[in-house]
Amino acid sequence: MRRLELIEGEPAQTIELSDGEAEALAAADLAVVNRAPGEVQWSIAPGRKVGVVQAGAVQISVRPKIPVERLVFLMGYASAPTFWRDHSVRLDTDADLPQALARTFMRLATKAIEQGLLQGYQRVDDSLPVLRGRIRVTDQISRRFGADLPLEVSYDDFTVDIAENRLLLAAATRLLRLPGLDVRTRQGLQRLRLQLSGVSEVRRGDELPRWQPTRLNARYQPSLRLAERILAGESFEQRRGRLRVDGFVFDMWKIYEDFVGVALKEALASRGSATLQHRMHLDHAQRVDLRPDFLWTSHNGDQVVVDAKYKAEKPAGYPQADLYQLLAYCTVLGLREGHLVYAKGNESELTHDVRGTEIVIHCHTVDLDQAPSTLLGQVRSLAHRIAALPSDD
- Cα–Cα distances (Å) from 121 to 69, 160, 202, in that order, read 35, 9, 19
pLDDT (0 to 100) of residue 315: 53
pLDDT (0 to 100) of residue 159: 86
Contact 42, 58 (CB under 8 A): no
Q: Where are the domains of the chain?
A: 2-64, 68-118+161-232, 120-159, 268-386
pLDDT (0 to 100) of residue 134: 77
CB-based contacts of 263-268 (< 8 A; 24+ apart in sequence): 263/77, 263/81, 263/376, 263/379, 263/380, 263/383, 264/294, 264/296, 264/306, 264/379, 264/382, 264/383, 265/294, 265/296, 266/81, 267/379, 267/380, 267/383, 267/384, 268/296, 268/383, 268/387, 268/389
Contact 331, 284 (CB under 8 A): no
> Identity (one letter) of the amino acid at 152?
E
Query: Which residues, other chains included, contact 37 with Cβ-Cβ below 8 Å and sequence gap of 6+?
Result: none
Q: Rounded to whole angstroms, how far apart are CA atoms 65 and 199?
A: 38
Q: Which residues of the chain have pLDDT under 50?
A: 317-318, 393
In tens, the pLDDT along 82-121 reads 888 877 667 666 677 888 888 889 988 999 999 899 988 7
Contact 196, 169 (CB under 8 A): yes
- Cα–Cα distances (Å) from 127 to 121, 138, 139, 151, 157, in that order, read 19, 13, 10, 5, 14
pLDDT (0 to 100) of residue 318: 46
pTM of the model: 0.80
Give the full edge-to-edge strand order of the sheet including 294-298: 272-276, 294-298, 303-309, 337-343, 360-366, 350-353
Contact 253, 48 (CB under 8 A): yes
